[in-house]
């Protein structure tokens, strides 16, 4: 709160000091960039901790700050003096003068756009309503995430019969047995964290146990979650959608989808739907064939809690590999070492652990990146292991943005967060290959944040990048995790040091596109659902939200879901995160990434010239340049969907 008040006071002083003169870019924009970055430095650790080390006290403090942060952001975006000044600077080509660094012109352009999106042109009563909506929305979205976390934490299952846990990997059973011992019970206590859920539905021979875990997972924070009745997100979802729709209409947009797309590469909801339905046309038949093959293999009609279990067995039959056979060859330290070698080969980066850095958990750590000249490029914290007070999933978040103030360079710092199984005894954390791919994906985001050459925080790193392009570096990076040369760098048996056998490596590569059709239509299902609930009239209630999801599934999905499935109630990407009316971005950016990686398939995996061009035209530019133009500068042409269809094996 003190930082916000200090920023208000400094803004008033800036306005007074420049009101009698003709201010230029440096005297106005640089101080404002510094104000924004100072607030980010204060708030970023709080936002991070509420995701990785949640406590009642921290949550209360976090929630108390949200209205003040929203209020301050809206005040800035409604400030007529700032808006007119940015307009005047832009019209006067102030950002093109000597001394204004790269990205200055784009900074002004995006700032003017954001003023308009926030309603700077509105009459005062409408501004007041917009401001109130933003404050309530910030709190309500946070409440959605809190409910998901609390609902999962409220569930547990005690099992005393050893027959019921057959097939479940030891790295799940060992901590479950320890929890039971601590509770004075025999057997095992399973919790509802992501690694446990995935491993149980993938490996447990007991079909009823798989169903129990599946039901708990897909009913989190819903009216079906009898284990946490106080965490139902039904009304929260309704309110979030209503607030977003109202805010969009206040500033002149038909609905929230149109409002959201104003900042993205895609120009309209129709364009997004056409893009997604084009992918459906190419992939749904493949998905249905894959499901039919799986049911024929299983010899029964499959329920959703059967899919991962029989898929793993079918994959083993077809390719002679399974996640549990692969795990011993992917100890986390070896994977990290291999990943760092890839980054050195591609970009000349060296990554080293920095000892003695204080962190929020004893397992977290800090690494520094240095370039060929041994100068620091940036750094990143890692937090790899699942905990009950930690959000599920994997993500990169900004800790410090790159910026230059009075000649002093602030190097960027990132948070890299995953949810892997913890080490146990002498055994390190052992990853599935999918988890290796996840780590490469998030490292792509880290590179995007750290390698920026832009000195203005608001357009440095991922800032100012259209949301449907922000996944380009991450999805490009994850493709490397399938290449035999890279897999060899990242794998060695954790006990013997034995390399991954050549036959298994070959089979892993062959399995890359296993059930690619099912995976693709699943992501399209999420994207279409997201776009539909944000387009047109607001769904009347949570029942209508669920109805829209059923309609989308009937149109595109291959797998049947039970009526009590409440996936949307824990869909934090769109109800609690930044992907509202933007979940399609994963597939949109994947087209860009597949086409970009195609250049390396043609020119060589570690082609130095290609890596330099990708770094200069994509990773370093932040939001300083139109991304479509930047992609053409790298690839020599626009991206085409055929690259993704070929890469996933949907087409030959």
The residues spanned by each domain of the chain are 2-149, 155-231, 254-291+514-652, 328-512
Query: What pLDDT score does 652 carry?
Result: 56
CATH topology (fold) of 328-512: 1.10.1370
415 beta partners: 381, 397
Alpha-carbon span 144 to 623, nearest angstrom: 30
Query: What pLDDT score does 425 carry?
Result: 87
Run of H or E residues at 642: helix 642-647
Are 33 and 14 in contact by the 8 Å Cβ rule? The answer is: no
Instruction: Convert the pLDDT of each residue in 334-387 to its tens digit.
Output: 999 999 999 999 999 999 999 999 999 999 999 999 998 889 999 999 999 999
**CATH number 1.10.10.2120 is the correct assignment for the domain at 254-291+514-652:** no
Q: What is the CA radius of gyration of the chain?
A: 25
385 beta partners: 420
SS3 353: strand
Query: What pLDDT score does 575 carry?
Result: 97
Q: Which residues contact 501 (CB under 8 A, 6 or more apart)?
A: none
pLDDT(97) > 70: no
143 pLDDT band, cuts 50/70/90, is very high
Alpha-carbon span 366 to 368, nearest angstrom: 7
Instruction: Convert the pLDDT of each residue in 524-569 to its tens digit.
Output: 999 999 999 999 999 989 999 999 999 999 999 999 999 999 999 9
Torsion from C-alpha of 612, 492, 446, 628, nearest 10 degrees: 50
Query: What pLDDT score does 406 carry?
Result: 79
572-583 average pLDDT score: 93
Chain length of the chain: 652
Distances (CA, A) of 104 to 8, 33, 109, 111, 380: 24, 11, 9, 11, 27
pLDDT(85) > 60: yes
141-146 average pLDDT score: 96
255-284 average pLDDT score: 95
Instruction: Convert the pLDDT of each residue in 533-544 to its tens digit.
Output: 999 999 989 999
pLDDT(92) > 80: no
Query: What pLDDT score does 174 carry?
Result: 95
Give the distance between the most distant pair of CA atoms in the chain.
81
State the catalytic residues: 442
Question: In terms of pLDDT, which residue wins out, 274 or 93?
Answer: 274
Q: Which residues contact 102 (CB under 8 A, 6 or more apart)?
A: 453, 454, 455, 624
94 pLDDT band, cuts 50/70/90, is low
pLDDT(218) > 80: yes
pLDDT(453) > 60: yes
CB atoms within 10 A of CB 322: 16
Query: What pLDDT score does 93 carry?
Result: 59
585-594 average pLDDT score: 96
Q: Percent of the chain beyond pLDDT 90?
A: 90
Query: What pLDDT score does 317 carry?
Result: 95
414-436 average pLDDT score: 95
Are 525 and 557 in contact by the 8 Å Cβ rule? The answer is: yes
Query: What pLDDT score does 306 carry?
Result: 98
Look up residue 37 and give its two tokens: 């970055």
Are 532 and 508 in contact by the 8 Å Cβ rule? The answer is: no
Half-sphere exposure of 296 (CA within 13 A, CB side): 6
Query: What pLDDT score does 486 carry?
Result: 97
* 254-291+514-652 shares its CATH topology with 328-512: yes
256-265 average pLDDT score: 96
Query: What pLDDT score does 533 carry?
Result: 97
22 pLDDT band, cuts 50/70/90, is confident
Mean pLDDT for the chain overall = 94
198-223 average pLDDT score: 98
């Amino acid at each position: 709160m003190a930082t916000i008040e200090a920023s208000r006071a400094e803004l008033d002083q800036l306005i007074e000091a420049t009101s009698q003169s003709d201010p230029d870019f440096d005297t106005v924009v640089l101080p404002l960039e510094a104000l924004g970055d100072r607030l980010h430095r204060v708030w970023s650790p709080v936002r991070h901790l509420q995701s990785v080390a949640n406590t009642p006290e921290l949550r209360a403090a976090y929630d108390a700050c949200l209205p003040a942060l929203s209020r301050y952001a809206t005040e800035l975006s409604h400030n007529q003096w700032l808006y007119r000044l940015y307009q005047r600077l832009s019209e006067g080509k102030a950002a093109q003068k000597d001394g204004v660094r790269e990205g200055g012109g784009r900074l002004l352009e995006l700032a003017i756009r954001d003023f308009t999106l926030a309603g700077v042109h509105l009459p005062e009563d409408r501004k007041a309503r917009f401001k109130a909506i933003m404050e309530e929305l910030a709190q309500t979205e946070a409440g959605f995430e809190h409910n998901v976390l609390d609902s999962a934490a409220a569930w547990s299952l005690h099992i005393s019969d050893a027959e019921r846990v057959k097939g479940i990997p030891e790295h799940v059973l060992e901590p479950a047995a320890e929890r039971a011992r601590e509770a004075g019970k025999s057997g095992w206590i399973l919790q509802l964290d992501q690694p446990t859920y995935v491993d149980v539905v993938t490996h447990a021979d007991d079909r009823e146990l798989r169903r129990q875990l599946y039901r708990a997972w897909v009913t989190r924070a819903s009216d079906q979650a009898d284990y946490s009745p106080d965490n139902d997100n039904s009304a929260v979802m309704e309110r979030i959608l209503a607030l977003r729709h109202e805010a969009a209409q206040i500033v002149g947009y038909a609905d929230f989808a149109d409002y959201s797309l104003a900042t993205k590469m895609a120009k309209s909801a129709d364009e997004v739907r056409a893009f997604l339905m084009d992918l459906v046309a190419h992939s749904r038949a493949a998905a249905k064939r894959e499901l039919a093959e799986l049911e024929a293999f299983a010899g029964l009609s499959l329920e959703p809690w059967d899919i991962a279990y029989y898929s793993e067995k079918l994959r083993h039959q077809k390719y002679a590999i399974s996640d549990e056979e692969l795990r011993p060859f992917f100890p986390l330290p070896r994977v990290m070492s291999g990943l760092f070698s890839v980054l050195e080969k591609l970009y000349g980066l060296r990554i080293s652990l920095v000892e003695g850095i204080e962190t929020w958990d004893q397992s977290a750590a800090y690494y520094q990146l240095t370039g060929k000249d041994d100068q620091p490029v940036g750094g990143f914290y890692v937090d790899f292991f699942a905990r009950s007070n930690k959000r599920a999933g994997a993500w990169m978040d900004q800790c410090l943005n790159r910026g230059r103030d009075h000649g002093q360079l602030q190097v960027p710092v990132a948070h890299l967060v995953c949810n892997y199984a913890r080490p146990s005894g002498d055994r390190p954390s052992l990853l599935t290959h999918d988890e290796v791919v996840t780590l490469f994906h998030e490292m792509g985001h880290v590179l995007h944040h750290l390698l920026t050459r832009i000195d203005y925080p608001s357009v440095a790193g991922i800032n100012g990048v259209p949301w449907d392009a922000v996944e380009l570096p991450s999805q490009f990076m994850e493709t490397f995790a399938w290449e035999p040369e890279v897999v060899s760098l990242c794998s060695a048996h954790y006990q013997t040091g034995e390399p991954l056998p050549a036959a298994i490596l070959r089979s892993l590569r062959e399995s890359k596109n296993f059930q690619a059709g099912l995976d693709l239509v699943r992501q399209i299902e999420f994207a279409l659902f997201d776009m539909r609930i944000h387009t047109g009239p607001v769904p009347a209630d949570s029942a209508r939200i669920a109805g829209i999801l059923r309609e989308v599934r009937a149109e595109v999905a291959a797998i049947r879901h039970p009526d009590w499935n409440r996936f949307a109630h824990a869909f934090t990407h769109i109800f609690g995160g930044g992907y509202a009316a933007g979940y399609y971005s994963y597939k949109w950016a994947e087209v860009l990434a597949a086409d970009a990686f195609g250049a390396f398939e043609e020119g060589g995996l570690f082609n130095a010239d290609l890596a330099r061009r990708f770094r200069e035209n994509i990773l370093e530019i932040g939001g300083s340049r139109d991304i479509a133009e930047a992609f053409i500068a790298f690839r020599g042409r626009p991206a085409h969907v055929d690259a993704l269809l070929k890469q996933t094996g949907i087409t030959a």
